[in-house]
Structure 1
Amino acid sequence: MVKLISADMDGTLLDSNKELSPELFPLIESLAEQGVRFAAASGRQYYNLEHIFEPIKDKMIFIAENGSVVFENNVNSFANVIDRETVCEIVEEIRKITGASPVICGLRGAYAESDEPELLENIKMYYRRYEIMDDILKTEDDICKIAVYDYVNAETNSHIPLVEAFGKQMEIAVSGEHWVDLSNPGCNKGTAISKIQEKYGISYEETMLFGDYLNDYEMMKTGRYSYAMENAHPQLKEICNYTAKSNDENGVVEAIRAYFK
């Protein structure tokens, strides 16, 4: 029987209006009563996820910043911090890319160098705690992820030069149409799931996963019940064992209910 369920947020749990199904919270509570752990796995900041799931946050695990940070019961159980020299090198490279803006993500908050309306709107969507600075490299926070907001297209613009420059030393994932995320090598949602599985003695056969984009790629390989959303990236669909209805059709909730019927 499945003992761990992990689902991505944007494009998976959240519909096109960035809203959760009203059926999700009662379902998570029911799963908890059955001893099934539920994790929200996202590129979003922990404080953002905590706010979204406030009524049931004590019954969940939060995998934030694409697996760089894991929180449970309001306690940081895992954080993969990038060394300061590497942060500086990457930020300097991002500054050279036309149409790209760096956002560095720390344990205490996120930091950006522009308050341009489009960027600020997106920062507010994914980061509850953030600060606009003249030079983000002056922050003393421990940085666990470096995000790039690409005004053009993440996959065809900023992702390419970043892979050329840092592909051998960093984990680099396109996490959305306008976002690229960089973290320490081997640091991704899949690694975080593996740590949770190890902690609680949960096997591959007992794990269910839901995702829609390329930053979910490694996570989908950690469990037998891997579901790509109907709206998922084609490359993700190729490696998943199942397909769930789209994020606008309550796909996650329906698939979970069908399994536990």
Structure 2
Amino acid sequence: MISIIASDLDETLLNTNKHVDAYTIEQIKKVSDQGIQFVCATGRPFISIQNTLKEIGLYDKENTYTISLNGACVTENKNNRILYMQPMDHSLAEQIYKIGLQYDVCVQVYTIDTVYAYRLNDDERDFLKGRMQVKEIHETDLTFLKDVPIMKVLYENTSFDYLQSIDSSLLTNIRQACDLSYSSARYFEFNKKGVHKGIGLKFLCDHLHIDINNSMAIGDNINDLGTLKTAGIAIGVKNLHPLIKDQVDHICPYTHNENAVGHILHDYVLIKK
């Protein structure tokens, strides 16, 4: 029996207009009313998803939770209370940042509540509009963040092949010290080694005394692999990235623009409960 559901946001729960459709909101309410935890699992900071939590009825609500920053942070939605966080080593983040300056990418540095962007371009500004705010910077090192925990770093470029070419040229020490992932067909992401959305799901299951086999993960992209591999049942939306199609138990016949998450909740949770 499913007791907890971890759903990705962008290109999974959210439609192209960055909202949740009414049918899916209705299904989330139904599973929540039955005592099943519906958890947003995102690569973004928890601060940036408050409007989504309002849409689905989980904003500032006790005993509801969010996995953010690719699993580097878990919060209770009530007062955004931090339960768990796993920042990167500062010197490692600094090294990744400086390497990024050598490539044609927008380098973004995520702290617990702020995203800093070096070389922010108009296309990225447009993509982030309605998702989250970023602070544009021009510093060539991260000295200004020396006393601030850094949760993740990412490179942005709309060419997946270009990002993969950077990936293939990374130094061994960075590969050994990081969890690497991709998302939204434009991001190459770096977290502390061993940190991914699945770790956040495992923490929540332990925190809530839920058997991990009674969990479900829903996602679309490579940075969802952590939850998809960890959960008892893994379901991809129709617009699932081709590289991870063999990592899910089922693929929903609907996309994020067709209430995929709502249909999954109805067909795999509410009917089967």
TM-score normalised by length of structure 1: 0.91
SS of 1:11's equivalent in the other structure is helix
Select 2:59's aligned residue among 57, 60, 85. 57
Letter aligned with residue 266 of structure 2: R
CA-to-aligned-CA distance 1:170-203 (integer Å, 9 cap, x gap): 1110112110110100000011101111111212
Aligned equivalent of 1:100? 105
Note if 1:196 corresponds to 2:217: no
Give the share of equivalent positions with the same residue, in percent: 20
Note if 1:260 corresponds to 2:270: yes
Is the deviation greater in 87-96 or in 130-139? Answer: 130-139
Aligned 8 A contact 2:108 2:116 in 1: yes
Aligned equivalent of 1:246? 255
Provide closer, same or farther for how the CA distance between residues 116 and 155 of structure 1 changes in structure 2, counting only shifts above 3 A.
Answer: closer
Select 1:143's aligned residue among 136, 150, 160. 150
CA drift at 1:162: 3.6
SS of 1:53's equivalent in the other structure is helix
Aligned equivalent of 1:78? 84
Aligned equivalent of 2:136? 132
CA drift at 1:9: 0.9
1:1-261 equivalence runs, <5 A:
1-54=1-54, 55-59=57-61, 60-72=64-76, 73=78, 74-97=80-103, 99-128=104-133, 130-135=134-139, 137=142, 138-139=144-145, 140-153=147-160, 155-162=163-170, 166-244=174-252, 245-258=254-267, 259-261=269-271
SS of 1:167's equivalent in the other structure is helix
Letter aligned with residue 78 of structure 1: Y
Q: Distance in 2 between matches of 1:22 and 1:56?
A: 15
Q: Distance in 1 between matches of 2:172 and 2:240?
A: 26
Q: Distance in 1 between matches of 2:29 and 2:18?
A: 21
Q: Distance in 2 between matches of 1:232 and 1:81?
A: 28
Letter aligned with residue 92 of structure 2: T
CA drift at 1:19: 2.6
SS of 1:51's equivalent in the other structure is helix
SS of 1:237's equivalent in the other structure is helix
Aligned 8 A contact 2:5 2:38 in 1: yes
CA drift at 1:242: 1.1
Letter aligned with residue 96 of structure 1: Q
Letter aligned with residue 106 of structure 1: T
Letter aligned with residue 150 of structure 1: N
CA drift at 1:18: 2.7
SS of 2:94's equivalent in the other structure is helix
Question: Unaligned regions of 5+ residues in structure 1, if any?
Answer: none
**Pairwise CA RMSD of aligned residues?**
2.0
Q: Distance in 1 between matches of 2:250 and 2:212?
A: 15
- The number of residue pairs the alignment matches comes to 259
Provide closer, same or farther for how the CA distance between residues 174 and 163 of structure 1 changes in structure 2, counting only shifts above 3 A.
Answer: farther
CA drift at 1:79: 1.1
Is the deviation greater in 147-156 or in 193-202? Answer: 147-156
Question: Unaligned regions of 5+ residues in structure 2, if any?
Answer: none
